[in-house]
């Protein structure tokens, strides 16, 4: 009996890094420039979640640093956010005086406008100060651009 021939299967789809300038570029600096790559699976509702555990901004009243964690979840449409550009983008908040509610909504607006995902949610969990911790969530859902 002859052995069946194995079919030469194609390799799985791979992400295309074309156009990404920060990934692998060496020492990083804070930068307000987000980057994305094409979604290899635009036909699926894939949930992507970033856990940003070292977020820092400044209280706009006292000037004291505020520390917290951000969770950014979204369902990409045509583009997927590149994580190093997100890290450098978030780093720019280190010296910005902004309320917790404002930073979460500002991030949601910027990321949603840039990616035009099917759905996105940003949650900030800010460290306890004066005995009070603050969690803020904001989301956009529906077709991109609505």
Which tens digits make up the pLDDT trace of 62-82?
A: 999 999 999 999 999 999 999
Q: What is the mean pLDDT of residues 100-105?
A: 98
In a domain, residue 112? The reply is yes
In a domain, residue 22? The reply is no
Here the tokens at position 45 are 């509702």
In a domain, residue 141? The reply is no
pLDDT band with cut points at 50, 70 and 90 for residue 141: confident
In a domain, residue 52? The reply is yes
In degrees and rounded to multiples of 5, residue 7 shows phi and psi of: -75, 140
In a domain, residue 85? The reply is yes
**Alpha carbon distance 21, 25 (integer Å):** 7
Domain of 72 in residue numbering reads as: 36-134
In a domain, residue 76? The reply is yes
Query: Which one is catalytic: 59, 77, 102, 109?
Result: 59
According to the per-residue pLDDT averaged within each range, which of 3-12, 55-64, 136-145 is highest?
Answer: 55-64
In a domain, residue 49? The reply is yes
pLDDT band with cut points at 50, 70 and 90 for residue 28: confident
The Cβ of residue 77 has, within 10 Å, a number of other Cβ atoms equal to 17
**Alpha carbon distance 63, 49 (integer Å):** 30
Q: Known catalytic residue: 135?
A: no
Q: Known catalytic residue: 59?
A: yes
Query: Which one is catalytic: 43, 45, 66, 102?
Result: 66
Report the CATH number that the domain containing residue 40 is assigned in CATH: 3.30.1130.10
Counting the structural domains of the chain, the total is: 1
pTM of the model: 0.79
In a domain, residue 31? The reply is no
**Alpha carbon distance 9, 97 (integer Å):** 54
């Amino acid at each position: 009996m002859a052995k069946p021939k194995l079919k030469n299967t194609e390799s799985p789809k791979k992400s295309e890094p074309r156009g990404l300038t920060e990934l692998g570029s060496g020492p990083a600096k804070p930068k307000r420039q987000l980057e994305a790559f094409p979604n290899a699976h635009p036909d699926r509702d894939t949930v992507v979640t970033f856990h940003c555990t070292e977020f820092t901004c400044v209280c706009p009243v006292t000037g004291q640093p505020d520390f917290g964690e951000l969770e950014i979840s979204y369902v990409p449409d045509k583009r997927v956010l590149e994580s190093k550009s997100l890290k450098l983008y978030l780093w720019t908040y280190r010296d910005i005086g902004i309320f917790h509610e404002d930073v979460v909504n500002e991030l949601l607006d910027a990321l949603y406008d840039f990616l035009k995902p099917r759905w996105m949610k940003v949650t900030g969990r800010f460290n306890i100060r004066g005995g009070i911790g603050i969690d803020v969530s904001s989301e956009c859902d529906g077709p991109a651009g609505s």
